[in-house]
Amino acid sequence: MASCNPKTANENQLKFTHTSLVDGDAFQFFQLVGAKVAYEVDQATYVAGVATSPQAKEVAAKVKDVYGSLLSTLDSLATSNQVDFPIKGAAPFVAPQAGGAIVETLADSTSAPVASVAFSDEGYVHHVQHEAAIIKDQFDRLSRNTNKGLRDFAQANLKKVNEVFTLAGGKEDAHAHH
C-alpha cells in the first residue's frame, strides 16, 4: 500500500481495500437509495401498464420521472466517491408470473427474501409511500452531509422526492423543520 508518492498510496488503498471517499451516512445513502431507486423505476414501468386506477398510474409516472432522473447522477456521484454502483446484491424487480400474482423481491435494508404478493393498485400506492418515506429520510440526512457535492445534490432533489411521497399519500410532519 505504501509508496514514495502519496497519490499512488491513496490510489492503492482505494483499489485494494475497497475504501470509499464518503462517510458512513453517505455510504448508507448510496446503498439504500441506490438499490431502492433502481427497483422502484422498474416496478413503476410495470405498474404503468397494468394499473387500473388513475392514482396508481399517476404515482407510477411520477416515480419513473423523479427516480429515473436521479439514476445517472447517483451513478456519477457514486463513481467519483469510490462507491460501487449499481449496488451489488440489490434485489431486482421481477415481473409477475402467469396467474396474476406478482413476485416481488423487497429491496429494503433487511434484504428480505422473495415474497409472492398479489398486485393491487392500492397496495402499490402504499408501497411507494413507504419506500418514498425511506428515500426522503436519506435525502434529508444527506442534505446535511459534510461533503459539499453530495449535500448540494440532496438539497437540489429533496423537493422532488417529497413530491413523490406526498403524491402517494404521505403526510408532511408539521414540526419537522422546528
Ordered per-residue pLDDT tens for the chain, 178 residues: 555 777 776 666 656 656 677 888 888 999 999 999 999 999 999 999 999 999 999 999 999 999 999 999 999 998 888 888 878 778 889 877 654 444 444 444 444 444 445 678 999 999 999 999 999 999 999 999 999 999 999 999 999 999 999 999 988 765 454 3
Domain coordinates of the chain in residue numbers? 24-167
14 CB-near residues (< 8 Å, 6+ apart): 20, 21, 82
Q: What is the structure's pLDDT at 67?
A: 97
**pTM of the full predicted structure?**
0.77
Torsion of CA 91, 93, 94, 96, to 10 degrees: 140
Output the pLDDT for position 86.
78
Cβ neighbors of 13 (< 8 A, separation 6 or more) are 1, 19
Domain 24-167 bears CATH identifier 3.30.465.10 = no
- Residues 17 and 20: their CA atoms lie apart, in Å, by 9
